[in-house]
Structures are given as structure tokens and as C-alpha cells.
Amino acid sequence: MGDNDKKGARDASLMLKIRADALAGNLNKVKDFLLRAPNRRDEIEKLEGELKQLFQLAGDIDLAVYGAKTKVENESGQEVPAVPEERKRRVEELQQKCGDIELAVSALLAKTAAAKGKVTSAINAVAEMKRSCFHIRPDEPVGLVLSKDLTARISEPVKGLAELNKALAANVPDVEAWKKFRVASLRSQDIFAEYLDFLGGLALRDIGFDEGISRMAEDLIRTYKTNQPPSYPWLALPAARPDAVVKTLARIVRVGFPEWTVWALPFTAHAFWHVIARDDLDDVVLQETTLEAIPERLQTCLADAFATYTMGPAYAYAAFYLLLNPLDAYAANPAVAADTAGLRVGDDTRAQAILAMLVSMDDTSADNEYKTIALSLGSMWASAMEQAAAGQRTAQTATDNAAVALLVEALGNVLGKCQCASFPSSHWDQMETLDQVLVDRPLQILELRSVLNSMWRARVDPATKDVKSIEDKVRNRIMKKKEIGQSAAQSPNLPAKVTV
């Protein structure tokens, strides 16, 4: 076994270890979630307790005010004694009572301060509940797009049911009537399933199950571009179904389980292709075929190529170390129809799309860094397929690989001519070191792609030990930016060529 083969085998072992660690981490999140999940009932009961105490304090203040007022009124109506000794005794009594009133006023001020504290606590509790809640308003851009899209989806089965009712009013149901109902029913089931998945993602984000990953994903998405102005509304939500990234309501970018970690944020670029980029580029011609006409199964490879172009090695590393499965390397189904469920390309075809795009982005010819990374990932992938006994490449895989190679080359030429934000190897040279990445300062949106690449470069380095610390510190930096806004200083190491 040569040195490259040995390295490939070691890397394949690292690939499996990273996946096992990622899965274990996510399972632990699920296992422990009930212990640490935000609980609306607990929050409301806390607020209720604060308000009850405030009510009690208000009653105590009323009593204290009434008592002080009574003492003052009792004294104000009495006549001044004529005898000097009586006046002296009277003054002494008043001094004593004034002292009592002063003590009562002091107690009243203390209760007032306590009441203010309870009001402040209640306001803070409400603010925290409001901050953690996630709601889509129907009159906001995302809500308007969702409503329009859902109405369009529903219109077709509604039209079919109207035709069915019209037919039923005229005669007894026949085969055609039953067929109409079946079509409307199947399409309605798809809509219901998708809508429930959407509501589930909305609820998971609302209760904080994704630990802020959706908010980070939205920040990262802002750095992606196509040839269209970035005026479109979008939303990132946790996804429960593996296929939710493709079949989704308009402009919803799904973050699929078990990828709810900082390491998997590059996958948002893949989702961005399916949800936004391919629509913006639908009139593009690739290999004498319009982008829109390319079969759905091959769109996955174009999404991989676009994500690599946009995120650089960070996407390649994330895909090879977390996503692509050597057991499915040649599990390809031929394209009978573009929208037939279950059709897919093998993961080897996806791997070749990523590697081809990465090599084409190498604009530092002296070092050929991206080519070197691609060779290393390719060797690891080959070793992983050998370890998994993937078998021999099928005729379908060979056909798919050849077709995708041409499509990726054509896509790269198209992306290079439009306003799409790339991450070429010249950016890789300008990235921060790991020590710089871990400095405790807010992370700006324009830095996200660079930092994710720096993180992955460190993670695949055998010398890197504390991977969990890297993830936690970068997450804290991203969330710290969300807490203080956009006022923090920009990194001096931000690549100059980043287009946003």
C-alpha cells in the first residue's frame, strides 16, 4: 500500500469517526432536551408569580399610605394647648409621631422600590419570552410569499375537486371520477405533509431546539448571491424529513437533522440552490439544455457544485466527512421522469461533482491548494468505498458521472460570468488561523464563510485536539454578534475579494 493509499485509509477512518461523533452529539441533544428545553408554562408561571407579588406589594403600599394619612389627619384637627407645659408635651408627642410617620414612609419607599423591582422583573420576563418566540407575520415579506405559494399549491387539487363535484351532480361516479379524486387526494396529502413539516420546524425553532443554528444559517445565506438582486425573502427552519430541502414551501431553507451544528452550516448553500438560486438562474443553458429542464436527480449534483463554488473547501469537507455515504456510492436510479419520487444519483456522482468544481476554482496556480485538497478527499473517498465494500462502478453511475462532469463545467462558466459570490483558493490563502478564529470578539456576517473554512481546515488536521471547544467558541461569537448588533469591528483578515 502506497503512502497516498495509507493516508486515504487514515482519512476514511477519520471520516467515520467524525460522523459517529456528530450522530452521538445530536442523539445526546435529543435525549437531554426535556431537561433543558425552554418551557412556556414555567415562564408564564414565573411571570404570574411576579405579578401576584406585585399585587400584594401594591396592597401593602395602600395600607401604609392609609396609615400615614390617618396619623396626619388625626393630628391636624387638634387645637394647640394654651398652657406652655402642655404645648411642650404636645410638641414631644408630635416629634414622636413624626418619627413614626418617617419610619412608615421609609417602609413605604422600600415597598415601592420592591414593587419597581417586580415590575422590572416582569418586564424582563416578558421581553425574554418575546425574544425566544418565533413568529411569522402574514403581512411581512416571508409571510406573503408563503401564503401566495400555499394558495398556488392548493388551487390545483381544489380545481380537481370542483370538477369532481360537477361530474357527480350530473351522473353516478365512474372510473374517471375516482381517478380525479385520487389525484386530488394524493396532491393534498403532499401539501398536508409539507405543511406539517413546516409547522414542526417552526415549533422547533420557537422553543430553541436548534440552539440558534437557524439564525446562523440565515446570516450565512445573506452572503450567497445569484445573478438576481437579493430582494427575495427567505427563512431558515429545522427540517425533520431528509427530502424537505427539495420539496419545500417557497423560500424556506431547511436545516436537516442531524446537521444542527456549526460544522454543517455549509450545507445551507446546497439548500439555497434548490430554494432560490436555481429559480433565479432558470433561463441559463447548460450543455444545450435549460437549467429548468435538467432532471431533478441531477439537480442534486448541481446543488453540490454550486455549494462548493459558494463555500469552497468548507462545503467539500462537510459533504465528505458528514454527508456522502460510501454504501450508497453506486445506488443510482435512472431518470424515468423528472418528478418521480425516490429517483437519485449515487453518492459517487455527487462526490465527483464536488471535486470537479473545487479543482476548477483553484486560482493560485503556484500552490494548487484546491487541487491538493481534492486529491486528498478523492483518496479518502476511494478508501471509504473500499472499506464499505461498495463494489464496482455501475453503468448507470458511469453515465451519470460523465453527464455531471459536463454540467459542472458549464455551471462553473455560468457562475463565473454572473454576480455569484465564490470562494476561490485566493480566499483560502487569506483566512484567519485557528488562534485568530477563536479570539473572543463578535463575528460579522461577511466573515462567516471564511471562519467556517478555517474551522474545517483545523478539524481535518490530526494535530487539532479540542474540536468541541472550536464549535462552542465560534457559536458564541456568532450569537454575541446577534446580541449587540452590527456595530462590532470587522476582521482585518477578511478576504478582500468576497462579493456580497
Average pLDDT of the segment spanning 100-106: 73
Q: pLDDT value at position 229?
A: 61
3-state secondary structure 51-96: HHHHHHHHHHHHHHHHHHHHHHHHHHCCCCCCCHHHHHHHHHHHHH
For range 418-445, the mean pLDDT = 83
- Residues 6 or more apart whose CB falls under 8 angstroms from that of 455 comprise 262, 263, 314, 434, 437, 470, 471, 474
Report the half-sphere exposure of 379 (CA within 13 A, side-chain side). Answer: 18
Cell triple for residue 364?
493560485
Decide if pLDDT at 156 tops 90.
no
pLDDT of residue 112: 77
Per-residue pLDDT at 337 exceeds 60:
no
Q: Are 302 and 357 in contact (CB under 8 A)?
A: no
d(CA 399, CA 450): 35
Of 19 and 458, the structure prediction assigns the larger pLDDT to 458
Q: What is the residue type of 472?
A: D
Please state, in angstroms and rounded to a whole number, the distance separating the CA atoms of residues 89 and 364: 101
Statement: residue 425 has pLDDT above 60: yes
Cβ–Cβ under 8 Å, residues 439 and 489: no
DSSP letters, 228-265, are S-S----EEEEESSGGGGTS-STTEEEEETT--SGGGT
pLDDT (tens digit per residue) in 222-231 = 777 776 665 5
The answer for residues whose C-beta is within 8 angstroms of residue 339's C-beta and 6 or more apart is 296
Average of pLDDT values for 432-444? 83
Distance separating alpha carbons of residues 290 and 278, to the nearest angstrom? 11
Residue 23: is its pLDDT beyond 60? Answer: yes
Tens digit of pLDDT for each residue in 259-304? 578 888 899 888 888 888 887 787 778 877 888 788 888 999 999 9
Percent of the chain topping pLDDT 70: 75
Which residues, 6 or more positions from 232, have their beta carbon under 8 angstroms from its beta carbon?
Answer: 145, 251, 276
Average pLDDT over residues 437-452: 84
pTM for the model: 0.70
Distances 148 to 41, 232, 265, 359 between C-alpha atoms, Å: 34, 14, 28, 41
Please give the Cα distance from 185 to 200 (Å, whole number): 22
What pLDDT does residue 40 have?
Answer: 63
What per-residue confidence (pLDDT) applies to 34? 53
Q: Are strands 289-290 and 285-286 parallel, antiparallel or unpaired?
A: antiparallel
**Model confidence over 387-397: pLDDT tens digits?**
989 888 889 89
Q: What is the DSSP code (8-state) at residue 440? A: S
pLDDT at 163: 79
Q: How many residues does the chain have?
A: 500
350-388 pLDDT tens trace: 999 999 999 999 876 657 889 999 999 999 999 999 998
Neighbours of 482 (CB within 10 A): 14
pLDDT higher than 90, residue 97: no
> Residue 239 pairs with which residues in a beta bridge?
256
Span 43-64, average pLDDT: 74
The rounded distance, in Å, linking the Cα atoms of 204 and 464 is 33
Q: What is the reported pLDDT for 140?
A: 72
Q: Smallest Cα–Cα separation from 23: which of 321, 273, 403?
A: 321
Q: Whose CA is closest to 322, among 378, 250, 257?
A: 257
3-state DSSP assignment of residue 101: helix
Lowest mean pLDDT among 252-261, 342-351, 389-398, 459-468: 252-261
